[in-house]
Chains A and B, each alone.
Chain A
Amino acid sequence: MSTPLLEVENLSVEYVTEARTVRAVDRVTFSIAEREVFGLAGESGCGKSTIANAILRLLRDPAVIAGGSIRFAGTDVLALSAEQLRDFRWRQVAMVFQSAMNSLNPVMTIGDQIADIFTTHEGVSKKTAMARAGELLDLVGIPRDRLRSYPHQLSGGMRQRVVIAMATALRPPLLIMDEPTTALDVVVQQEIMAQIKDLQQELGFAILFITHDISLMVELSDRMAIMYAGRFVETAPAKEIFDAPKHPYTRALMNAFPPMAGPRTRLRGLGEGVRFRDIPDLEAVTPNHWVAPSTDDNLITEAIS
């Protein structure tokens, strides 16, 4: 078996302040193979974005990587110097952030922001960089004259496509997508998902796809992981999670959205005030399907206070 592209082992990330320390990611282990689409789902605040930012070491003070390892194609990401990291970023792993409007510099043109990538990583002239930028826009179906536009002059969907195109600029083997469609309306969401699918087929990168909307991921992902309060509770191939979720939390998530067709049934989600505590490590239920065993001790109802 070839080395997986990304190997995260026992990763723990803490936010350390004078008042207290919060463990945002608690001993998380997973790996992503080449060309694989790995979906990471969970509710807001469960730590999925923290994992994403940790891989690129973008987290700022007071965040600390408190334990574990992150290896990319054999390289230890946590041991890289600042300069090696700058080389590593975007070339090996690129990221699509949640809100394109906020992740684009408002006072620079789109073209300049894309050209930045080429002039920095490949040392080419501004002119060449702009030409390559134009090609990138072609890839996502945006007219080339938009190179001279400012971010606020584009529609939401266009901005997201620009950001996705930017991520593929250096043909990185891994793309992290942190809720790329959350800020968009449903129709545009579909377009963007289709665009992502096309690009993935064409360019063959792996994706770490983060979302809180499982329905979006199920089509696209090969494997999925469900996260809760900093820990993984279940990982399995996408189809299995969809058809036969084993952890109560996963089941609650799956049951939370209705099918388009079929008889009307009562929606079932998590009850009010249900919390999981001390989630144990994942155990294999079937060779590819790992679940954190849950006993009744885990299920604690806490009054909202």
Chain B
Amino acid sequence: MSLAQNPQAMAELGLGTAPGPDGKPQAAPPPPRRRGGGGLLRGLVGNGKSVAGIVILILFLLIAVFAPVISPGDPNLITGMGSQPPSLEHWLGTTAKGQDVLALNIWGSRSSLFVGFSVGILALLVGLLVGLASAYLGRWVDNILSLVTNVFLLLPGLPLLVILAAFLPQGLGTVILVLVITGWAGSARVLRSQAMSIRGKDFVGASQVTGESGLRIMFREMLPNMASIVMSTFLACVIFGIGAQAGLEFLGLGDISTVSWGTNLYWASNDGALLTGAWWVFVPPGVCIALVAFALALVNYGVDETTNPRLRRPRRRTTPDEPTRVAASVKNSSSQAAASQKEQKR
């Protein structure tokens, strides 16, 4: 029986706990159980950078979804004379072939966003599975998976991308497949090291002892605590997906028949847009890709700052070796005291 439960002893000591109405000491209510993800979402909404990023992303998503409505016509149709600069009729001008640039880019958002996010999700899932399995299913599984991950990490991405794309039949599926193959290893490595550090924590051991199944431990215990890293990794994968897809398509190895920002750039280059000075064909796709990638990076920034308070913007300029700040009121009185001391000494 603890001291708190012995009111007499407590009184002896001069400490006191008023017992409850039934004569027994009050018990404390259990603390609420906090899930890892909730705090992150709240933090993101409060962070200026991530809000800006989310707004931009939603904007593009809306453009993609409502493309048939907002686009000035079918992008594949030749609706004007070739290489016309922006005008009232064609807000962003026309390509060398005579297609409307604005339409091309509005429709292009569909393919680019679709592939980008698909690659992001798939690469993340594969990486997550590998990472969690590696951390949880034991030494042997870990050794094999680590070996595979490291080998894939070493294989140079772009050349591998180029060769795979060259060998496989053209199409959106190929692009996604090829990008996931080259992209999963990066997320696997990050997620594995995070999972391993969580694996070592006591609550996982406790779950094992109470008989939770492996799968349940992996997904209900470990995963929620990795929320922020998973989020960061997902964003990085999507950025990778969008950028790499653009690169592939630019090289002509994507699906040339689809309309996407990357293929727009491919045709721009092929038709010699720069050489003829037709910058309006060339600039919009690049800007769109940049905006989406930047928006994702902003959200990532927000995730970083929310989960790691040290990274947040400090309120004043500081260096680590600055001596402890002394409040102004203190400084004045102390220098006065020093002055008066000097006076006395004389």
Taking Cβ atoms with an 8 Å cutoff, the residues of A that contact B are 18, 53-54, 57-69, 76, 78-80, 82, 85, 248, 251-252, 255, 266-274, 296, 299, 301, 303-305
Q: Which of A64, A252, A274 is B327 in contact with, Cβ under 8 Å?
A: A64
Q: Other CB < 8 Å A-B pairs besides A62-B315, A65-B324, 8 of them?
A: A53-B324, A69-B333, A79-B338, A273-B4, A274-B15, A299-B15, A303-B26, A305-B28
Interface presence of B150 (CB below 8 A): no
Shortest beta-carbon distance, A77 to chain B, in Å?
9
**Stretch of B6-14, B223-231, B298-306 lying at the A interface:** B6-14
When the two chains form their complex, are residues A78 and B334 in contact, meaning their CB atoms are under 8 A apart?
A: yes
When the two chains form their complex, are residues B15 and A248 in contact, meaning their CB atoms are under 8 A apart?
A: yes
When the two chains form their complex, are residues B4 and A272 in contact, meaning their CB atoms are under 8 A apart?
A: yes
Which residues of B sit under 8 angstroms from A268, Cβ to Cβ? 3, 9, 13
When the two chains form their complex, are residues B322 and A273 in contact, meaning their CB atoms are under 8 A apart?
A: no
Interface presence of B274 (CB below 8 A): no
* Proximity string of chain B (1-44) to chain A, C-beta cutoff 8 Å, 1 when within and 0 when not: 01110000110011111100000011011000000000000000
Shortest beta-carbon distance, A7 to chain B, in Å?
11
When the two chains form their complex, are residues A64 and B331 in contact, meaning their CB atoms are under 8 A apart?
A: no
When the two chains form their complex, are residues B16 and A301 in contact, meaning their CB atoms are under 8 A apart?
A: yes
When the two chains form their complex, are residues B15 and A78 in contact, meaning their CB atoms are under 8 A apart?
A: no
Which residues of B sit under 8 angstroms from A266, Cβ to Cβ? 9
A23–B15 alpha-carbon span in the complex (Å): 25
Residue of B25, B316, B327, B333 contacting most chain A CB atoms (<10 Å): B327
Which residues of B sit under 8 angstroms from A54, Cβ to Cβ? 324
Residue of B13, B321, B329 contacting most chain A CB atoms (<10 Å): B13
Interface presence of B308 (CB below 8 A): no
Residue of B318, B325, B329 contacting most chain A CB atoms (<10 Å): B325
Which residues of B sit under 8 angstroms from A299, Cβ to Cβ? 14-16
When the two chains form their complex, are residues B330 and A271 in contact, meaning their CB atoms are under 8 A apart?
A: no
When the two chains form their complex, are residues A252 and B325 in contact, meaning their CB atoms are under 8 A apart?
A: no
CB within 8 Å for A271 and B10 given contacts A57-B323, A64-B326, A305-B29 = yes
Which residues of B sit under 8 angstroms from A67, Cβ to Cβ? 327, 329-330
Interface presence of B335 (CB below 8 A): yes
Which residues of A sit under 8 angstroms from B329, Cβ to Cβ? 67
When the two chains form their complex, are residues A271 and B28 in contact, meaning their CB atoms are under 8 A apart?
A: no
When the two chains form their complex, are residues A69 and B334 in contact, meaning their CB atoms are under 8 A apart?
A: yes
When the two chains form their complex, are residues B17 and A274 in contact, meaning their CB atoms are under 8 A apart?
A: yes
Q: List 20 A-B contacts (CB under 8 A).
A: A58-B323, A61-B315, A61-B316, A63-B324, A64-B325, A65-B327, A66-B330, A69-B333, A69-B337, A251-B13, A255-B13, A266-B9, A270-B3, A271-B3, A272-B3, A272-B17, A274-B15, A303-B29, A304-B28, A305-B28
For the complex of A and B, the 6 pairs showing the least CB-CB separation, nearest first, are: A304-B28, A272-B4, A57-B323, A57-B324, A59-B324, A271-B4
When the two chains form their complex, are residues B325 and A65 in contact, meaning their CB atoms are under 8 A apart?
A: yes
Q: Which residue of B lies closest to A269 (CB)?
A: B3
When the two chains form their complex, are residues A301 and B17 in contact, meaning their CB atoms are under 8 A apart?
A: yes
Interface presence of B314 (CB below 8 A): yes
Which residues of B sit under 8 angstroms from A61, Cβ to Cβ? 314-316, 318, 322, 325
Which residues of B sit under 8 angstroms from A305, Cβ to Cβ? 28-29
Which residues of A sit under 8 angstroms from B337, Cβ to Cβ? 69, 76
Residue of A53, A60, A296, A303 contacting most chain B CB atoms (<10 Å): A60
When the two chains form their complex, are residues B330 and A78 in contact, meaning their CB atoms are under 8 A apart?
A: yes
Which residues of A sit under 8 angstroms from B330, Cβ to Cβ? 65-69, 78
Residue of B2, B9, B320, B326 contacting most chain A CB atoms (<10 Å): B326
Shortest beta-carbon distance, B269 to chain A, in Å?
48
A54–B28 alpha-carbon span in the complex (Å): 36
Q: Which residue of A lies closest to B312 (CB)?
A: A18
Which residues of B sit under 8 angstroms from A68, Cβ to Cβ? 330
CB within 8 Å for A76 and B326 given contacts A248-B15, A271-B15, A303-B26 = no
Q: Which of A64, A271, A304 is B324 in contact with, Cβ under 8 Å?
A: A64
Which residues of B sit under 8 angstroms from A296, Cβ to Cβ? 16
A268–B11 alpha-carbon span in the complex (Å): 12
Q: Which of A60, A62, A273 is B28 in contact with, Cβ under 8 Å?
A: A273
Which residues of A sit under 8 angstroms from B3, Cβ to Cβ? 267-272
When the two chains form their complex, are residues A303 and B28 in contact, meaning their CB atoms are under 8 A apart?
A: yes
A68–B3 alpha-carbon span in the complex (Å): 39
Shortest beta-carbon distance, A265 to chain B, in Å?
11
Which residues of A sit under 8 angstroms from B10, Cβ to Cβ? 271
Q: Which of A18, A69, A267, A270 is B15 in contact with, Cβ under 8 Å?
A: A270
A251–B12 alpha-carbon span in the complex (Å): 12
Q: Which residue of B lies closest to A294 (CB)?
A: B14
When the two chains form their complex, are residues B4 and A78 in contact, meaning their CB atoms are under 8 A apart?
A: no
